[in-house]
Amino acid sequence: MTAAPASATESRVFPRSFDALPAVFAFTADLFARQGIDRALLPTIDLAVEELFTNMVKYSATSEADVRIEMTGIEGGVEVTMIDYDVEPFDVTKAPAVDVSLPIEGRRPGGLGLHLLRHMLDSIEYQYSGDRRQSRITFRKTAAAAPGS
Amino acid sequence: MLAIDYGTPGTVVVSGRLDAAQAAVAQAFLDKVEGTVTLDCSALEYISSAGLGVLLKTQKRLLASGGKLRLSGVSRHLQDIFGYSGFDQLFEIEPAR
């Protein structure tokens, strides 16, 4: 399916709770439909949004601010920015690697979310503004790029 | 949403989305299964790392008692996730037809 040309950014805020996930997925599905983005990309986008959103909920628990999600249809895919407010910095692009070759005895839950994103997204960037205590994570996924490229 | 229930003998059928909001529901169900169990994933649309954690915990428990969890009807997208996470080495996986 050929994606629509680059589209306007759509933005929504969500309360920092796992209970917000259904609303988050409704937002992504709705945007994909309205902007004609290749639906084959939606599971990967939902995965990335969920992993980053749940990290924000779990690891920035002292913040009470809503999380903002901005989405834009781009050539061949979509760009997403997630903004977290009143938080300490945590650069998701520098999270430790997970050894997925370990036998089951050595495997522990946790850490797989960011590991998957490194493989499945075209790119992911992290920015932190200290004076505003604001984290911005921007990632892109297109149909043209091979996974992990 | 997620639905999980017993299917034919030795099978559990999971459908919908196994995400962070539904992981506890799935874990509570799978904590009750014993022996060798096939998880029919043919209607499982989506899984996140929270869901992978559920599968890992279940596999560890079943293996410890001589059983295991097999995954059947696995879509191309889920196969990719299982590959990147190394779960294709931890589970017997049957692709979707």
Whether ipTM exceeds 0.85: yes
Nearest CA in chain A to B19: A50
Count of positions (residues) in chain B = 97
Residues 6+ apart with CB under 8 A from B77: A43, A44
Q: Please name the amino acid found at residue B1.
A: M
Name the residue ranges covered by the structural domains of chain A. 10-142
DSSP string for residues in B16-61: EEE-TTTHHHHHHHHTT--SEEEEEEEEEEEE-HHHHHHHHHHHHH
Q: For each of chain A's 149 residues, which pLDDT tens digit applies?
A: 554 455 689 999 999 999 999 999 999 999 999 999 999 999 999 999 999 999 999 887 788 899 999 999 999 999 999 999 999 999 999 988 899 999 999 998 778 999 999 999 999 999 999 999 999 999 999 996 544 43
pLDDT in tens, B69-90: 999 999 999 999 999 999 999 9
Q: Please name the amino acid found at residue B8.
A: T
Count of positions (residues) in chain A = 149
- The verdict on a CB contact (< 8 Å) between B84 and A116 is yes
Q: What global pTM score does this model have?
A: 0.90
Which CATH architecture does the domain made up of A10-142 adopt? 2-Layer Sandwich (3.30)
Fold of B2-95: Transcription Regulator spoIIAA (3.30.750)
pLDDT in tens, B19-34: 999 999 999 999 999 9
Do A144 and A123 form a contact (C-beta atoms < 8 A)? no
Through-space distance between the first and last CA atoms of chain A, rounded to whole angstroms: 21
Shortest Cα distance, chain A CAs vs residue B6, angstroms: 25
Measured between beta carbons, the chain A residues lying within 8 angstroms of B2 are none
As beta bridge partners, residue B69 has: B37
- The verdict on a CB contact (< 8 Å) between A50 and B60 is no
Integer Cα distance of B19 and A81 in angstroms? 20
Name the residue ranges covered by the structural domains of chain B. 2-95
- The verdict on a CB contact (< 8 Å) between B84 and A22 is no
Q: Nearest to residue B92, comparing CAs of B39, B22, B18, B28?
A: B39
Measured between beta carbons, the chain B residues lying within 8 angstroms of A149 are none
